[in-house]
Amino acid sequence: MELIKVTEQREPGVALIELNRPKELNALNHQLMTELLGALQQLDKNDLVKAIVLTGNEKAFAAGADIKEMADKTAIEMHLMDRFTTWDQIRKTKKPIIAAVSGFALGGGCELTMMCDMIIASETAKFGQPEIKLGTIPGAGGTQRLTKAVGKAKAMELILTGRFLSAEEAHFYGLVNKVVPVEMYLHEALQLGKEIAQMSTIAVQLAKEAINRSFETQLDEGLAFERKNFYLSFASEDQKEGMKAFIEKRKPEYKGK
Ligand code: CAA
């Protein structure tokens, strides 16, 4: 791994992935995205990891897809390279991913934060889809996910002008969970991961899957999906332990089984 750093147990049960191309403001080139996918797939299989925090550095989470890598490409070359397959696979990660964002989260960087499940932002975070200034449009989900996150009017404004959204505005529009001082954003994200890591891994994954389903379906179908996952949780030892511990007035001991 050259362009990312992985710490498997940054906190008990919480892995940390740091994007590590600081000179290029963590521009997301093919190698970095491939390494990121590989790391997420490994962590997804690692029973000791219950939640994943993804971060950049104080100046930049990521300033977008690598412009230099794609500037000269033709439409057909872009199509044949099919780089977004990697991004689609990242979306399949079962464990919860928390983006810890400071500085620039632009273009593909903003899209990557929106592919995560929760976002903790430092006061210095800036979100945006500035592709329009490059004569193109978002290609990794920005037009869809930003619209769902902040609503049509704001998404139109941001995507058609390339303006940035401050951390405070991002919080106001519901794009991020929480805004904290810059020295706290990573800590806050890790704490959130730690809290989730104490829950039943199975229940966490079933819940994540059901929430994500709400973006793909009508209410009836989404409710049916939720109900199946709810019933499925009753096949786990963790559900039995969780309810038994409640009745016995003690802390549950989850095994992820
Ligand atoms: N791709 C490639 N290189 C990038 C980059 C990117 N997205 N963003 C920054 N860099 C490089 C710069 O070229 C520069 O490299 P050199 O030192 O070799 O010149 C280095 O990172 C530092 O950047 P700046 O000197 O520009 O730093 P700054 O502090 O003056 O400005 C910035 C910061 C406003 C974020 C500016 O770098 C910028 O506008 N970056 C591009 C943002 C952008 O347009 N992102 C969208 C990309 S397209 C996309 O993401 C498509 C998609 O949907 C998948």
Per-residue model confidence as pLDDT tens digits over 37-46: 999 999 999 9
> Per-residue pLDDT averaged across 171-193, rounded?
98
Q: Say whether 209 is catalytic.
A: no
Query: Of all protein residues, whose CA lies closest to atom 42 belonging to ligand 1?
Result: 63
pLDDT tens for each residue of 9-21? 999 999 999 999 9
Note the pLDDT of residue 183: 98
Rounded to the nearest angstrom, the distance between the alpha carbon of 125 and the centre of ligand 1 is 15
Note the pLDDT of residue 1: 83
Q: Say whether 237 is catalytic.
A: no
Q: Is the CB of 106 under 6 A from ligand 1?
A: yes
> Per-residue pLDDT averaged across 138-153, rounded?
97
Mutation pick for ligand 1 pocket among 19, 24, 111, 131 (CB with most ligand atoms within 8 Å): 24
Query: Of all protein residues, whose CA lies closest to atom 40 belonging to ligand 1?
Result: 63
> Per-residue pLDDT averaged across 182-191, rounded?
98
Query: Which ligand 1 atom sits closest to the C-alpha of 129?
Result: 46
Residue pair 256/200 in contact (Cβ under 8 Å)? The answer is: yes
Q: Is the CB of 139 under 6 A from ligand 1?
A: yes
How is residue 102 written in tokens? 């400071």
List for the chain the helix, strand, coil content (%; round to 5): 50, 20, 30
- Give the position of tokens 């995205």: 33
Note the pLDDT of residue 121: 98
Q: Say whether 65 is catalytic.
A: yes
Query: Which ligand 1 atom sits closest to the C-alpha of 137?
Result: 53
Cα separation, 82 vs 234, in Å, equals: 40
Query: Is the per-residue pLDDT at 155 higher than 90?
Result: yes
Rounded to the nearest angstrom, the distance between the alpha carbon of 172 and the centre of ligand 1 is 26
Cα separation, 43 vs 13, in Å, equals: 11
Q: How distant, in Å, are the alpha carbons of 54, 87, 230, 254 from that of 51?
A: 10, 19, 21, 15
Query: Is the per-residue pLDDT at 68 higher than 90?
Result: yes
Q: Say whether 151 is catalytic.
A: no
Query: Is the per-residue pLDDT at 141 higher than 90?
Result: yes
pLDDT over 90, % of the chain: 99
Note the pLDDT of residue 193: 98
Note the pLDDT of residue 115: 97
Q: Is the CB of 24 under 6 A from ligand 1?
A: yes
Query: Is the per-residue pLDDT at 253 higher than 90?
Result: yes
Cα separation, 123 vs 12, in Å, equals: 27
Bridging pattern class, strands 14-19 and 4-11? antiparallel
Query: Is the per-residue pLDDT at 75 higher than 90?
Result: yes
Note the pLDDT of residue 29: 96
